[in-house]
Amino acid sequence: MSKSFCRAGLLVLCVGAFVSCSKSEKPSGESTDSVLRSTEEPIQKKSEEQEITLSREAISFARIAAKPLASQLFPDVIAAPGRVVPTQSGIAHVGSNLTGRVVKLYVKEGTVVLRGSPMAELQSFELSEIKSEYLNSHAEVLRTEKRLERQTQLSKENVGTKRDFEESESEHSQAIARRDAASSKLLALGIDSAKLENGSGISLTIRGPISGIVSRRLLGLGAYVEPNTDLFEVLDLSVVWVDAEVPTTVAGLLHAGGSGRFTTPEGTTESGKVVFVSPTADVVSHMVTVRLEVGNPTSRLKPESFGTTFFEISGPSKSGFVVPLSALEKVGESYFVYKQLTDTTFSRISVVVADQNALEALISSQDLSVNERVVSSGVFYLKAARLKDELQDND
């Protein structure tokens, strides 16, 4: 530690000596014009130092981007932590209604499936019994139908008795009811009774109830499964929910149909709308759940990932130049932005921040006008380049 202090002291002494020598070497016979020029040159140089020129390669590497300014309304925004969850219709637990053994698997975790596409095939003796039940009841319907037709004809000819006709009609109705019950069982298993040819088949195909991606496969080939046991989980992430927890005082300002945004830790922002505001607060945290529905066509947002949710609330109408917070450079209590002069040249402009929220700032400056381009990302790189130029000029 003592060596570091010694080095620092020597550095200060050297800088002081350099400054003293510079002052003592100033010519004593300067004219008034020379003195005026010496006071004017630093001012002109300071103005030039506000401009920064970078190569196109450096701009691309630093991902510097600029957007044109436009007068727009400045919304009041509140921020809250958010958690991504599937929608109620975006998650499906797939199982079997019958006991059986897995004889074929068509999908694995990560497989994209369509609604109705086969996922697994089970060997089930219960299915054989249901098929036989349907076929027997269908045969009974045909038999009683013929008998009813015969009794109807006899009644028309005043040959048959009323009792025989009523018995035939009752038997036929009962046969139809038994066939419909068996048909409903087959339909619940995804089998069309109209296409059923015989009762010998014992194979049951498990099909996807929704389109999506298989997130979990909970069985292997040869596994014995029972009814109401989850075999697969399918997720449709084309639309997701973001659940945010906000204080009760804030929840009163939000309503279903309002707008919001969700930003990931990587900086990606997706817009959405409020679909639910819980009418009650959590008994432990005393926070209110506000649900934001967000489009997710590329499945970039994953369930159980976290980020920051921003909600726009109604407030006093304000308008002006609105820039993202990433566009601002703060030095002490002063704020600056970088105006793009050409494709490779930028100028540092002092601005006044009239208001700001969790995402954006409302700024004003006499040096900015509509449609002029202001850097929205990459400000840190421009700041570093500016400081580097200043250090070189000082040297």
The pLDDT confidence band at residue 18, using thresholds 50, 70 and 90, is very low
What is the pLDDT averaged over residues 52-76?
Answer: 90
Report d(CA 330, CA 348) in Å as an integer.
12
CA 200 vs. chain centroid, Å, equals 49
Instruction: Evaluate whether 121 touches 204 at the Cβ level (below 8 Å).
Output: yes
Cα–Cα distance measured from residue 375 to residue 353, given in angstroms and rounded to the nearest whole number? 16
Q: Kindly provide the b/e burial profile for residues 269-279, where b requires at least 16 CB atoms within 10 angstroms of the residue's own CB.
A: ebebebeebee
8 conformational bin, left if phi > 0, alpha if psi -120 to 50, beta if neither: alpha
Higher pLDDT residue, 10 or 282? 282
Q: Can you list the positions of beta strands (E) in 88-162?
A: 91-95, 100-105, 112-113, 118-123
2-to-12, 215, 288 alpha-carbon distances in Å: 15, 61, 56
Strands 65-68 and 239-247, by their bridges, are unpaired
Q: How far apart are CA 154 and CA 148, in angstroms?
A: 10
Tell me the C-alpha distance between 297 and 52, whole Å: 39
Question: Backbone phi, then psi, for 285, in 5-degree steps?
Answer: -85, -15
pLDDT reading at 179 higher than 80: yes
Q: State mean pLDDT over 123-133.
A: 77
**In terms of DSSP bridges, do strands 259-263 and 51-53 run parallel, antiparallel, or are they unpaired?**
unpaired
**Is the Cβ–Cβ distance between 254 and 313 less than 8 Å?**
yes
Place of tokens 């601005």: 351
What are the CA-CA distances from residue 349 to residues 115, 142, 326, 328, 346 (Å)?
56, 90, 15, 10, 10
Question: Is it the case that residue 48 has pLDDT exceeding 60?
Answer: no
Question: Which three-class secondary structure state does DSSP give residue 24?
Answer: helix
Tokens 């449609």 belong to: 371
Q: Under 8 Å CB-to-CB from 215, ≥6 apart: which residues? A: 109, 233, 234, 235
What's the token pair of residue 369?
């006008």
Q: How far apart are CA 285 and CA 246, in angstroms?
A: 10
Extract the tokens encoding 202: 């014992």
Q: What is the pLDDT of residue 194?
A: 66
Q: Are 245 and 287 a contacting pair, CB within 8 Å?
A: yes
Give 242's pLDDT tier (boundaries 50, 70, 90). very high
Of the pLDDT bands very low, low, confident and very high (cuts 50, 70, 90), residue 29 is very low
* DSSP label at residue 302: P
> Once rounded to an integer, what is the mean pLDDT over residues 338-348?
94
* Residue 7 pLDDT > 50: no
Mean pLDDT calculated for residue range 20-42: 37
Contact indicator for 386, 345 with CB cutoff of 8 Å: no
Structural contact between residues 292 and 271, judged by C-beta atoms closer than 8 angstroms: no
The predicted model gives 53-75 an average pLDDT of 90
Separation of alpha carbons 280 and 278, rounded Å: 5
Mean residue pLDDT across the chain: 81
